[in-house]
Amino acid sequence: MLRRYRLAIVFWGLGLAAIGILVVFMHESIADKQKVMERIMKGMPLIIKAIAGDVSQFVTPVGWLHLKYFFVLPVSFGVFAVVSGSGLLVYDEEQGRLDLFMAYPLSRSRMFVVRCASLASATFLMVAIAWTGMSVALPIAGLGISPSGIILPFLSLFIIITFFQALSLCFSFVLPSRIIAAGAVGIILVASFFLEVFVKVEPKLMVFAKLFPLRYYQGGMAIHGLDWWSLFVLLAAIGIALGLAWRLFLKRQIRVMGEGSFPGRS
């Protein structure tokens, strides 16, 4: 499984690292133009202001890293999460390979645990590569943040990506195909992101935002320390999703190949 993920580890890891390095070195030039940007944003609609973020935070290294790197990463990196999670086991089933793998003297529980551990290890390596790239850039750019100071934001990123992988895996056993499962979780991811954006414009949306996962993602603000309640909520959600997925896999009648159908349809 790790060999299967080797190209993803390299390209996603280096891609995230390259973006992180670029964001770090852009801070100085953006911070110098704060007054100009404030005048430009002053006449913009509230929605545009919410999407762009608080310009006053651009001058702070923590605010800059949060708004322009960690806050948007769950959406882009989430593409890998929903695709890899939904296809962790169902992809081989749809390709007609899973029943052959299960012919080996290997329990379903062991198959499930090993594959989940492999995906988690691959994701951790990608996040570690991204952290390494930013750690090299931070001392050079002089942002005043040490490499150890960004460990918690990357830990928060790893946890939210793991959540979407676990949710996609669970959905893949409930919905007819991995494509539908990935699409359903993708909708949840995008909806959660835009709720986090629009709640700045309309605080009444906070009631709905609390029902979505990104409300408990801390991103770059974790540099100041983790919010343990938010961390517990995500870890509990990951445990529930994995536990449910494991039970569904144990009871699943493995298809020879191809996609399934919705309940009640042949």
pLDDT for position 188: 96
- pLDDT tens-digit profile of 219-236? 888 998 889 999 999 999
What tokens appear for 249 in the block?
């896999």
DSSP state of 50: H
Digit-coded pLDDT (tens) for 7-16: 999 999 999 9
Q: Is residue 95 scored above 90 in pLDDT?
A: no
Position 253 scores a pLDDT of 81
Q: What is the pTM of this model?
A: 0.89
Q: What is d(CA 67, CA 55) in angstroms, rounded to the nearest whole number?
A: 10
pLDDT value of residue 34: 57
Instruction: Check residue 119 and give its pLDDT.
Output: 96
User: Average of pLDDT values for 91-107?
Assistant: 84
User: Which has the minimum average pLDDT: 41-50, 91-100, 111-120?
Assistant: 41-50
To the nearest whole percent, how much of the chain has pLDDT over 90?
56
156 confidence band (pLDDT: 50, 70, 90)? very high
Written as six digits, the tokens of 21 are: 């390095």
- Centre a 10 Å sphere on the Cβ of residue 220 and count the other Cβ atoms it contains: 26
Q: What is the dihedral of CA 195, 199, 201, 202, to 10 degrees?
A: 110
Tokens describing residue 198: 């629009």
The pLDDT of 128-132, averaged and rounded, is 96
Q: What are the C-alpha distances in Å from 101 to residues 10, 112, 174? A: 27, 12, 21
Confidence bin at 48 (pLDDT 50/70/90): low
Any idea where the domains of the chain sit in the sequence? 6-251
Average pLDDT, stretch 158-176? 95
The predicted pLDDT at position 264 comes to: 55
Q: What pLDDT is stored for residue 204 in this prediction? A: 87
State residue 105's pLDDT score. Answer: 84
First to last CA, the chain: 33
Q: What is the mean pLDDT of the chain?
A: 86
| Cα Rg, the chain, nearest whole Å | 20
> What pLDDT sits at residue 55?
56
Q: What is the pLDDT of residues 199-218, one digit of tens each?
A: 877 788 899 999 999 999 99
Q: Give the position of tokens 């700045």.
A: 200
Q: Count of CB atoms within 10 A of residue 29's CB?
A: 8
Tokens 């290294």 belong to 61
